[in-house]
């Protein structure tokens, strides 16, 4: 694929809409898709997990103009555990306008089960076989059910650690052995307590998710549900369980003929 020097911004918006079909769902954020349009042409696309200062500072320091930022999470960047890490200050939007930087984000549309979804992307990175979605949210089915070569929850935790590049947490509330090597993924915050009813019905006893730290208020209910249903939890942080989807989008954009690059961020280890 020969990469063009610039590409029409609207062309990219239209292809993203065709790929993720945002009209199928609602979202937990007020705005799906285009967040900021400041240039009709795009020289390069930067993908990232969060619309964080860390990401935009990286781009500003490069002196980039007429580029597009594609993230999984729109503004506010991350309703999570980092103190002061919420909505982007207005300065960033002023700079986007000055530099002709477009900003586009899909959250639930990208969580929906599919080749570039957060769940399937993590499954593939773990070299496991995603075979179905399993949990309904905002009008779509999200998450991934997986076949794996692993026998125990500890082996699966080691696989996740090798995949994300840092330690992960195992809360063993059920049998150590996976049921026929199967496990479930729901990336990110994964706050849904009724998910454990679904996993029990599916005969899944091990669940990979992002935020598991018992010190987080909402995870207390998650741990209680996991204990009641005898389901093991493996936490890998919000960022690290979701980063593989925007990483996969680099090749998607390049296939359209525009240069693309993933911008890494730091995982919040206190989330696990």
> What confidence category does residue 83 fall into, taking pLDDT thresholds of 50, 70 and 90?
very low
DSSP 146: E
Partner residues linked to 147 by β-bridges: 129, 182
Q: Which of 37-46, 69-78, 83-92 has the highest mean pLDDT?
A: 37-46
pTM summary value: 0.95
Return phi, psi of residue 169, to 5°: -115, 135
Neighbours of 173 (CB within 10 A): 21
Beta-bridge mates of residue 260:
45
Domains and CATH numbers, the chain: 7-107+242-265 (3.40.1390.30), 111-241 (3.40.1390.30)
Q: Could you read off the pLDDT of 234-245 as tens digits, one per residue?
A: 999 999 999 999
> Looking at residue 84, what is its pLDDT?
42
Please tell me the distance from the alpha carbon of residue 66 to that of residue 117, in angstroms, as a whole number: 27
DSSP sequence for 156-177: HHHHHHHHHTS--EEE--S-SB
- The torsion angles phi and psi of 26, rounded to 5 degrees, stand at -95, -175
Of the candidates 259, 116, 138, 136, the one whose C-alpha atom is nearest the C-alpha of residue 198 is 136
pLDDT confidence of residue 1: 65
């Amino acid at each position: 694929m020969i990469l063009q020097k610039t590409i029409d911004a609207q062309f990219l918006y239209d292809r993203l809409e065709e790929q993720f079909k945002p009209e199928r769902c609602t979202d937990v954020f007020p705005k799906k898709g285009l967040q900021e349009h400041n240039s009709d042409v795009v020289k390069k696309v930067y993908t990232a997990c969060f619309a964080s200062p860390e990401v935009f500072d990286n781009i500003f320091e490069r002196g980039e103009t007429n580029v597009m930022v594609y993230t999984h999470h729109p503004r506010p960047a991350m309703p999570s555990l980092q103190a002061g890490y919420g909505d982007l200050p207005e300065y960033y939007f002023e700079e986007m306008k000055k530099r002709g930087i477009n900003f586009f984000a899909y959250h639930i549309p990208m969580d929906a089960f599919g080749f570039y979804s957060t769940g399937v992307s993590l499954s593939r990175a773990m070299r496991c076989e995603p075979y179905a979605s399993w949990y309904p949210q905002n009008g779509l089915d999200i998450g991934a059910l997986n076949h794996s070569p692993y026998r125990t929850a500890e082996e699966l935790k080691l696989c996740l650690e090798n995949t994300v590049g840092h330690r992960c947490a195992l809360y063993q509330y059920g049998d150590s052995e996976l049921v026929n090597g199967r496990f479930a993924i729901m990336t990110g915050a994964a706050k849904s307590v009724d998910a454990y009813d679904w996993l029990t019905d599916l005969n899944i006893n091990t669940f990979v998710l992002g935020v598991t730290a018992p010190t987080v208020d909402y995870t207390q209910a998650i741990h209680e549900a996991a204990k009641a249903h005898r389901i093991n939890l493996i936490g890998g942080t919000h960022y690290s369980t979701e980063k593989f989807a925007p990483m996969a989008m680099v090749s998607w954009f390049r296939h359209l003929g525009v240069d693309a690059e993933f911008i890494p961020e730091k995982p919040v280890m206190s989330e696990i």
